[in-house]
Amino acid sequence: MSKQVVLMGLHPDVVDWDKWPNLSPEKLMEGTEKTREALEAEGFDMTVGFIGTGDEGAEEAAEILASKPFDLVLIGAGVRKDDDQFLLFEKLINLILEHAPQAKVAFNSSPSDTVEAVKRWL
């Protein structure tokens, strides 16, 4: 059975793109699809966990994390590096502990290094 990976990050519709001048919704979606292909080629099964912000985003994350047993949860830079998402990031860590305590946690710095981040822990 392949390892289950969920990439948890902000949905392109809620990202403040002014904070990410080198990215766009199209680049994010393209990078996500390339990541899926690369992870599948490495034998991983990837779930995309695009979420909203605030309590709504935390509720969406809880549903995703409870949907199946994940081996690794990767929290994207859009949640981690945006000070406006600090509370969401904190909630995600606690949701992982609650709903996926068996999972490793990884972080990427951009869509381009997601595969390396996953492979560090699995």
Residue-wise pLDDT tens digits, 71-113: 999 999 899 999 999 999 999 999 999 999 999 999 998 778 9
Domains and CATH numbers, the chain: 3-121 (3.40.50.2300)
* Model pLDDT, residue 112: 83
How many residues make up the chain in this entry? Answer: 122
pTM: 0.93
pLDDT digits 0-9 by tens, 35-45: 999 999 999 99
The candidate with the shortest Cα–Cα distance to 35, out of 122, 27, 61, is: 27
Is the Cβ–Cβ distance between 59 and 26 less than 8 Å? no
User: How many angstroms separate the CA atoms of 14 and 72, rounded?
Assistant: 24
Mean pLDDT score of the chain: 95
Backbone phi and psi for residue 107, each to the nearest 5 degrees, phi listed first = -135, 145
